[in-house]
A = this chain, B = another copy of it.
């Protein structure tokens, strides 16, 4: 028993993905760019290369299409694994890893993030879901700082605020680069920032 969707993916015309997925992709792309009220079902269908009626037969209505797509494309859980697997105990190495992973994951989620940011007045749940993983990461980073503090590898400081500062710095960087094109990511500016900011926080927090 395998997934019911997209039986045609393995069909004769192999490069043709199924209509359902084409619609999900189209709605994310268009809503991220123009906003929910700025794009019509007609336009979504045309972008997906299907008839508008197919959209309604598959998803019932516009809102449900977007909600389905949002949940479908929202990657998750990668940040938690990070802390289980790859943390070394060396502050500089770890901050670098966290920064880089965060930027990569957020960039991959960028369209979903744009939608959550733009449409939170219509889809209250989006914002919450989009912030779930960054919030978890903040929590894990605070715990990490606490552990380092106990081992004498960190100065006396408010670990929660330090974690928040580090995450906000990365969040600001992400937002500023959110509209960069796929091909130019990560930009040299972003790469420089990641390297330099890890050094900065390491110097500031090392006893």
Q: Which residues of A contact B (CB under 8 A)?
A: 33-38, 117-122, 157-158, 161-162, 164-165, 167-176, 179, 189, 192-193, 196-197, 200-201, 203-205
Contact = CB atoms under 8 A, between A and B. Distances in A.
A117 to B, nearest CB: 7
A167 B172 contact: yes
Contacts of A117: 117-118
Give chain A's interface secondary structure class. Answer: helix
A169 B165 contact: yes
Contacts of A204: 200-201, 203-204
Contacts of A171: 172, 175-176
Copies of this protein in the assembly total 2
10 contacts: A35-B35, A35-B37, A35-B118, A37-B37, A161-B197, A164-B193, A165-B200, A168-B170, A169-B169, A175-B175
A4 B45 CA distance: 49
Contacts of A179: 120
